């Protein structure tokens, strides 16, 4: 079987390939094709990926192409991992918002809105190509804002799209490690939307332990995702939070920390990526592929070290020197995607957190609403768990963000400035008509209007 990666010049592609090497034969994967509009960057990423394959002495076929149709044609699985406008647009998204006193994070609020406006039209074009050249392929969307974008693709009639995110699986991994159990011995049930979800059940070897975890301050402080929240709030809700809820529950803290740091995460990532690519371009990658890989891994370490540290004020982890770095195995979006492919090939299946259509999972939402929830993935399909009851404070936030998503999609479809303003006015991280109007105007100015945002 064939995997196509649209956005193959993304730096996470190398880690994706390394994770795939441990599992490709069991998953019946024969080849991976990379495609990206950034051809020079793709050449560098392709060389790194091929070195990862060769150093493990594997026979996985891997190459890059300059024609998206060539990548897509005959693919069984397609990953979409784009950053439309590049790192510089992410910086614009964040800066415009911050100048107006609003959080501009790329998946929530104003930043997520601007990115969605640029991204949805591009992904719709790729989906139309996929419909023509690989109609039976499953599309795994990792492009941010993942939940909103996945909703847009489903709303346009592309039903074989699964939104994936590595936040829930990473949280579960750290929880299992802290509780000294294997991943298979721990059941963690999520519900909500992408980057707006809660854990409503934690079972250790079949026994429900969520209440005792909520009561354990030591456990809450030990897990990075939970340590940034006020324990009293978590106990009052009765659930454990997705870390991105920090922007909603501690909005003023996140905004103040970003201002104090003097740099947004987007600006930090842009600087890291520029330095990494400059160093790699100056190297003889063919003559010293392992040295190039160590350079790449060092800068990836810098990227990961900055994750949520600016907004939360958390201390950064100590750095490991070049020459001592290992390629991560299977974590991140690669692990989620490969787990999903594995589940699709098994009778008994496995539980995974995915963004899919609701289909009666969360009461009160429409069946076509894309949610992020725990699903049983097997040969019989992808079945979301049934969430019988949702506390009103969680439910209202889910409904509000879902309506914001739908208005954003409608604004993109109709190129309507008025609908765009309505969408941002509703979002809790904006919550102001006058601010929403200024945000839309300034994003229009930065990108030459919604029609030119891409």
CA-based torsion, 276, 278, 279, 285: positive or negative? positive
Query: Would residue 66 count as lying in a domain?
Result: yes
The domain total for the chain is 1
Largest CA distance in the chain: 60
Beta strand residue intervals within 303-427, DSSP E: 350-357, 370-378, 381-384
Query: Could you tell me the CATH number of the domain that includes residue 71?
Result: 3.40.50.720
Res. 121: pLDDT tops 70: yes
Query: Would residue 423 count as lying in a domain?
Result: no
Q: Once rounded to an integer, what is the mean pLDDT over residues 98-112?
A: 92
Res. 251: pLDDT tops 90: yes
Query: In this structure, are residues 121 and 409 in contact, taking their beta carbons and an 8 Å threshold?
Result: no
Query: Would residue 10 count as lying in a domain?
Result: yes
Tokens of 305: 């070290």
H or E stretch covering 16: helix 12-21
CB count in 10 Å sphere of residue 137: 21
pLDDT computed for residue 453 by the predictor: 47
d(CA 236, CA 403): 26
Any idea which residue has 């299992």 for tokens?
A: 176
Confirm whether residue 195 is marked as ligand binding: yes
Q: Which domain holds residue 113?
A: 2-82+108-163
- What's the alpha-carbon Rg for the chain, to the nearest Å? 21
Tokens of 109: 């609020």
Confirm whether residue 49 is marked as ligand binding: no
Q: How much of the chain exceeds pLDDT 90, in percent?
A: 83
Q: Report residue 130 CA to chain centroid gap.
A: 21
Query: Would residue 441 count as lying in a domain?
Result: no
Among 56-70, 143-157, 290-304, 429-443, the minimum mean pLDDT is found in 290-304
Alpha helix segments (H runs only) across 223-332: 224-227, 231-237, 246-249, 251-261, 265-281, 289-305, 309-312
Query: In this structure, are residues 36 and 343 in contact, taking their beta carbons and an 8 Å threshold?
Result: no
Among 109-113, 149-153, 304-308, 386-390, the minimum mean pLDDT is found in 304-308
Among 156-160, 327-331, 420-424, the minimum mean pLDDT is found in 327-331
Query: Would residue 398 count as lying in a domain?
Result: no
269-324: pLDDT as tens digits: 899 999 999 999 999 999 999 999 999 999 988 887 766 666 666 666 566 666 67
Query: Would residue 135 count as lying in a domain?
Result: yes
Task: Please state, in angstroms and as integers, the Cα–Cα distance from residue 268 to each residue in 10, 262, 303, 344, following that order.
Answer: 16, 10, 8, 38
Query: Would residue 213 count as lying in a domain?
Result: no
Query: In this structure, are residues 297 and 55 in contact, taking their beta carbons and an 8 Å threshold?
Result: no
Residue whose C-alpha is closest to residue 16's, from 49, 54, 44: 49
Sequential DSSP letters for 135-171: TTPEEEE--SSHHHHHHHHHHTT--SEEE--SHHHHH
Q: For residue 131, count CB atoms less than 10 angstroms from its CB and return exposed for 0-12, middle for 13-18, buried for 19 or more.
A: middle
Backbone angles phi, psi at 14, to 5 degrees: -60, -45
Query: Would residue 136 count as lying in a domain?
Result: yes
Strand-pairing partners, residue 161, are: 139
d(CA 278, CA 293): 14
3-state SS, residue 106 = coil
d(CA 21, CA 3): 13
Confirm whether residue 51 is marked as ligand binding: no
Confirm whether residue 144 is marked as ligand binding: yes
The residues annotated with a catalytic role in the active site are 166, 244
């Amino acid at each position: 079987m064939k995997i196509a990666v649209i956005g193959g010049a993304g730096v996470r592609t190398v880690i994706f390939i390394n994770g795939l090497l441990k599992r490709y034969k069991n998953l019946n994967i024969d080849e991976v094709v990379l495609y990206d509009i950034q051809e020079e960057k793709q050449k560098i990423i392709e060389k790194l990926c091929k070195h990862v394959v060769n150093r493990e002495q594997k026979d996985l076929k891997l190459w890059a192409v300059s024609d998206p149709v060539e990548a897509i044609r005959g693919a069984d699985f397609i990953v979409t991992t784009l950053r439309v406008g590049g790192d510089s647009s992410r910086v614009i998204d964040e800066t415009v918002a911050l100048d107006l006193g609003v959080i501009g994070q790329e998946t929530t609020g104003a930043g997520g809105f601007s990115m969605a406006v640029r991204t949805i039209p591009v992904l719709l074009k790729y989906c139309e190509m996929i419909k023509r050249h690989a109609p039976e392929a499953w599309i795994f969307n990792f492009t941010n804002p993942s939940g909103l974008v996945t909703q847009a693709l489903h709303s346009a009639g592309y039903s074989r799209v699964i939104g994936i995110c590595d936040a829930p699986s990473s949280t579960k991994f750290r929880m299992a490690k802290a509780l000294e159990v294997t991943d298979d011995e721990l059941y963690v049930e999520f519900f909500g939307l992408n980057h707006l979800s809660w854990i409503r059940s934690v079972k250790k070897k079949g026994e429900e332990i969520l209440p005792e975890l909520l009561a354990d301050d030591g456990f809450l402080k030990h897990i990075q995702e939970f340590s940034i929240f006020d324990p009293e709030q978590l106990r009052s809700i009765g659930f454990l939070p997705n870390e991105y809820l920090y922007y909603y529950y501690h909005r003023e803290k996140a905004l103040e920390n970003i201002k104090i740091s003097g740099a947004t995460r987007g600006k930090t990532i842009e600087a890291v990526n520029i330095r990494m690519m400059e160093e790699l371009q100056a190297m003889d990658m063919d003559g010293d592929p392992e040295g190039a890989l160590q350079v790449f891994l060092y800068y990836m370490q810098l990227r990961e070290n900055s994750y949520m540290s600016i907004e939360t004020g958390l201390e950064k982890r100590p750095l490991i020197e070049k020459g001592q770095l290992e390629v991560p195995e299977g974590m991140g979006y690669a692990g989620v995607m490969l787990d999903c492919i594995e589940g699709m090939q098994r009778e008994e299946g496995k539980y995974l957190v995915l963004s899919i259509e609701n289909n009666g999972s969360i009461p009160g939402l429409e069946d076509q609403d894309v949610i992020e929830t725990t699903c049983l993935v097997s040969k019989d399909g992808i079945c979301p768990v049934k969430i019988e009851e949702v506390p009103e404070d969680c439910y209202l936030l889910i409904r509000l963000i879902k309506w914001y998503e739908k208005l954003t999609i409608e604004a993109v479809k109709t190129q309507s400035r008025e609908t765009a303003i309505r969408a941002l006015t509703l979002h809790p991280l904006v919550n102001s008509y006058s601010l929403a109007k200024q945000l839309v105007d300034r994003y229009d100015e930065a990108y030459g209007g919604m029609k030119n945002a891409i």
